[in-house]
Structure 1
């Protein structure tokens, strides 16, 4: 009898001890390239771990986030093209629905304060809510996403591994997605290697770089090649979309036709270009900035005059832009579909 009581006692003690054992996590160190600014993302509120990253990676590639389980984040954000789409001008959603904007790339998001073309989202942790709840994209609710994940044996295990609980919540789902998204860092293009004095530009690339600094760098600031601001770049309004930019979100007349300045990193592969995907090639983009713009009260001050580049100079500028390609990032298996 005493022996039985002893077994029960020790078993009870063991259960109590196990209840206080914390799940062992594998921390991830977020490396900031030398000379880069401090990220905006607050890692203290969402510490990076391998387990959280892998959960976010699974969610990113899983169509379970959409209403009919046909569209995933990766449907519009393909790794090999800088995490954007290339086969159509505007984003596509479930049931063949078509959105009204081109998808932005997902790169170096730790340094972004504003998300979406109009800046309607101001924090990475809630950014996925926009496509999840959009009627023309995933057309789902976070509540129903949580329900589906909670009823998945795989995801209950992944959430336990990442957060020490197999109870799925909307907050943890969004935090996991952020852990994957914030790690999509590209910083090893030829341009970066030249800046680190590991390589040299060719003559044509150097000339293109000089032209870039004179004509483009005021908006596309190094090393991120974006200002994270909003500008009117002199595009004609597409009368089928009637997209007036940031003003739709702010209702401020000063934001008429203002759109976010996108990064130029991996620009060689992130076509089509502009908020409505109207340009299919970089040659068309350069041609736009080389000619007269559509003038308006909100036209960017940096675009008062066109570039007026010669044919040779446009070729040189294009050569430089291609040095922003980071193939290590575009084909890194760490960011690819989980197997």
Structure 2
């Protein structure tokens, strides 16, 4: 299941050089960047510089709304029942609450659905880092047999057969056939805007109103920096690296990063996730094995498994494995982790399913996307 989407898409990408087309930026007529008009497009003052260049896909309200419609449209799946939003639910910080993601016909993905937030600061995507490029990321779930199960050509045919989508794409990119760069750029406009930077922790760091932390939370913050901050670095709470955090002794089921690099040294290494909104993204780890945050902390305190590629940070003097944490320290860490919840991000109506709106937004063209079947 790890390779199904790539087998169907990889040769196509090589043939068309899609990555180069998308990387070039400025596809179609140039449009002014309306940064302030699009949710999540501004640079939070306590964040590092974006990895993703806004100039490559300039934020634009109409394109953002088009991408939002595509994200929540289940008709792009082979069954017509699964959308991107099925596995990436806003109230759960764009995860789904399942140990393993559920796709068409109830098929289970081999991995936990990752959260979608602050993607403009990511350097790679997927738990194994198998995708580079925000636009290209959407191809994996779209074409995976375990997820949406739709070949790219089929998705484009559906879009081109729909008069509402044709009108909306033409209004942005000009008349003609809806093509792959247009489709992926529009979808990326929405996912790129999923910026979470307004938690109580953020307000504390920016010295804003509502940014007070309790003594317990402050102790947890200090502990976090000392015990967890080497991997969950800075205000993004991830260093974008791949590490073996001691979940297993062997990796016959899922080799992680080694699945991409084919290097034995990468066996069992997975992307370090951001911990933003972590209290809302259970279950945890790449396979969803831990149902609660206390279980995660217990793993690091006394559950780390030794393997050849175990991260050196989890090898302590005297042969001890893991991170030494008392029950009291674990409680303080849990209190701090809850300060990373960004309620405004989880409830922002601009990021919600547009089909739930009583009236279409004024920038949208035609009827809501689910109002008519494709091709009618």
Fold-level match, TM-score > 0.5? yes
Q: How far did 1:28 drift?
A: 2.6
Higher-Rg member (1/2): 1
In 1, Cα distance between equivalents of 2:63 and 2:231: 34
Q: How far did 1:163 drift?
A: 2.0
1:214 aligns with 2:221: no
Deviation digits for residues 20-64 of structure 1 (CA, Å, limit 9, x no counterpart): xx8987723421111321111122221110011001000000012
SS of 1:217 mapped into structure 2:
coil
In 1, Cα distance between equivalents of 2:222 and 2:131: 34
In 1, Cα distance between equivalents of 2:188 and 2:31: 20
Partner of 1:34: 45
In 2, Cα distance between equivalents of 1:162 and 1:252: 44
TM-score, normalised with respect to structure 1 = 0.90
Q: How far did 1:311 drift?
A: 1.4
> Could you tell me whether the CA contact under 8 Å between 1:219 and 1:261 is conserved in 2?
yes
In 2, Cα distance between equivalents of 1:166 and 1:280: 48
In 2, Cα distance between equivalents of 1:336 and 1:321: 25
Matches within 5 A, 1:319-338: 319-338=335-354
> Could you tell me whether the CA contact under 8 Å between 1:56 and 1:179 is conserved in 2?
yes
1:47 corresponds to which of 58, 77, 83? 58
> Could you tell me whether the CA contact under 8 Å between 1:52 and 1:163 is conserved in 2?
no
Matches within 5 A, 1:90-129: 90-129=100-139
In 2, Cα distance between equivalents of 1:70 and 1:283: 34
Matches within 5 A, 1:235-274: 235-236=247-248, 242-274=253-285
Q: Which moved more, 1:196-205 or 1:269-278?
A: 196-205
Partner of 1:317: 333
Matches within 5 A, 1:159-238: 159-165=169-175, 167-198=177-208, 199-236=211-248
Partner of 2:92: 81
> Could you tell me whether the CA contact under 8 Å between 2:250 and 2:307 is conserved in 1?
no
Deviation digits for residues 225-282 of structure 1 (CA, Å, limit 9, x no counterpart): 011110000002698x811111111101111100000000000000000000000100
Partner of 1:289: 300
| RMSD between aligned residues | 1.7
Q: How far did 1:166 drift?
A: 5.1
Matches within 5 A, 1:16-35: 27-29=34-36, 30-35=41-46
In 1, Cα distance between equivalents of 2:187 and 2:248: 36
Deviation digits for residues 46-99 of structure 1 (CA, Å, limit 9, x no counterpart): 11100110010000000122112111001100000000010x210111111111
SS of 1:223 mapped into structure 2:
helix
1:57 corresponds to which of 57, 63, 68? 68
Change (3 A) 1:61 1:238: farther
